[in-house]
């Protein structure tokens, strides 16, 4: 793996950033062994029709089938581990005044890596929600029988956004607001094709935020960024955080000095 280098301007901007927005897509979790949507033989939709398992209509028609498919996916996600990229983002959050992590992934790996300020735009497959009034549950009785809402007895459904469904408007508003407020945006493993996520980097750029992309593949966003890294995220992010806040400097620095981690 070729060594990744960072110029002084990038390191300065990172150290002095007041609000960083990080936008992550399927490529962020691919290095944890989670299938992306369309790439490669193990791609998610190679063997199943999304209309059969990931739409409100499918749930109305055959909730058992929908639950079975989502539980298989949940189990494979639960078995995956946060990769060094996830862990570096959790550490980065400790170094800067504010970091908003907007993810299109439903695997919950950012939270498991220790990130706090996470907006899960497409939901979280480790959760369920009431199909009627929307209450979200972290624990619920796995089917069979079909799980029901303890509040209103309606069916519970996987807490993910299905095809043909709108994103949660409150989460979307939070993400939009953050993208208009940040001074740096890092786009990781996302194609930058899917709206509304694709608008966030453009909002940030309109505010003169520094745009960075980490993605082995070029994307439509690539021509708009100031820094583009084509190496794996698990390689680039830990190196970037260590370059800005060298572990040795952190160990030596007296408590409370800029180089130390917020406790």
Show which residues are catalytic. 122
**Of 152, 177, 193, 206, which lies in the binding site for Zn ion, with binding defined by CB under 5 A?**
152
Residue 16 makes CB contacts below 8 A (sequence gap 6+) with none
* Nearer to Zn ion among residue 35 and residue 130 (C-beta): 130
* Nearer to Zn ion among residue 154 and residue 167 (C-beta): 154
What CA–CA distance (Å, rounded) separates 73 from 216? 25
What tokens appear for 231 in the block? 């190496």
If one asks whether residue 149 binds Zn ion (CB under 5 A), the answer comes out as yes
- Contacting range for Zn ion; rule: CB under 5 A; set: 90-98, 153-161, 215-223, 248-256: 153-161
Residue 127 makes CB contacts below 8 A (sequence gap 6+) with 136, 137, 138, 158, 159
If one asks whether residue 77 binds Zn ion (CB under 5 A), the answer comes out as no
Which x/- pattern, by CB under 5 A, does the window 104-143 give for Zn ion?
A: --------------------------x--x----------
Q: How far is the CB of 157 from Zn ion (least distance, A)?
A: 11
Q: How far is the CB of 65 from Zn ion (least distance, A)?
A: 22
- The b-or-e profile of 68-78 (16+ CB within 10 A means b, else e) is ebbeebbeebe
What tokens appear for 27 in the block? 């490529």
**Nearest Cα to Cα of residue 157 among 192, 183, 132:** 132
Q: How far is CA 230 from CA 53, 66, 134, 213, 215, in A?
A: 34, 36, 39, 8, 5
Element (H, E) at 13: helix 8-16
* Nearer to Zn ion among residue 121 and residue 128 (C-beta): 128
* Nearer to Zn ion among residue 69 and residue 137 (C-beta): 137
Q: How far is the CB of 154 from Zn ion (least distance, A)?
A: 5
If one asks whether residue 177 binds Zn ion (CB under 5 A), the answer comes out as no
Around Cβ 167, how many Cβ atoms within 10 Å? 16
* Nearer to Zn ion among residue 89 and residue 130 (C-beta): 130
Interface ranges with Zn ion (CB under 5 A): 130, 133, 149, 151-152, 154
């Amino acid at each position: 793996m070729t060594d990744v280098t960072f110029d002084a301007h990038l390191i300065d901007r990172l150290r002095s950033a007041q609000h960083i927005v990080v936008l992550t897509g399927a490529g962020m979790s691919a290095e944890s062994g989670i299938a992306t949507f369309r790439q490669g033989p193990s791609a998610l939709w190679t063997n199943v029709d999304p209309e059969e398992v990931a739409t409100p209509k499918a749930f109305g028609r055959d909730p058992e089938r929908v639950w079975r498919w989502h539980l298989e996916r949940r189990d494979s996600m639960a078995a995956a581990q946060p990769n060094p990229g996830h862990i570096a983002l959790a550490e980065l959050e400790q170094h800067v005044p504010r970091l908003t992590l907007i993810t299109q992934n439903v695997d919950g790996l950012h939270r498991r890596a220790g990130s706090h300020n996470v907006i899960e735009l497409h939901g979280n497959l480790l959760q369920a929600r009431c199909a009627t009034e929307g209450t979200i549950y972290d624990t619920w009785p796995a089917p069979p029988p079909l799980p029901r809402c303890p509040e209103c007895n309606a069916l519970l459904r996987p807490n993910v956004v299905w095809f043909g469904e709108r994103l949660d408007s409150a989460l979307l508003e939070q993400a939009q607001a953050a993208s208009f407020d940040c001074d740096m945006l890092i786009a990781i493993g996302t194609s930058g094709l899917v709206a509304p996520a694709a608008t966030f980097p453009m909002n940030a750029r309109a505010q003169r935020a520094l745009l960075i992309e980490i993605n082995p593949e070029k994307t439509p966003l690539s021509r708009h960024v100031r820094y583009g890294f084509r190496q794996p995220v698990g390689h680039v992010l830990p190196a970037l955080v260590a370059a800005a806040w060298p572990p040795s400097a952190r160990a030596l620095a007296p408590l409370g000095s800029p180089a130390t981690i917020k406790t």
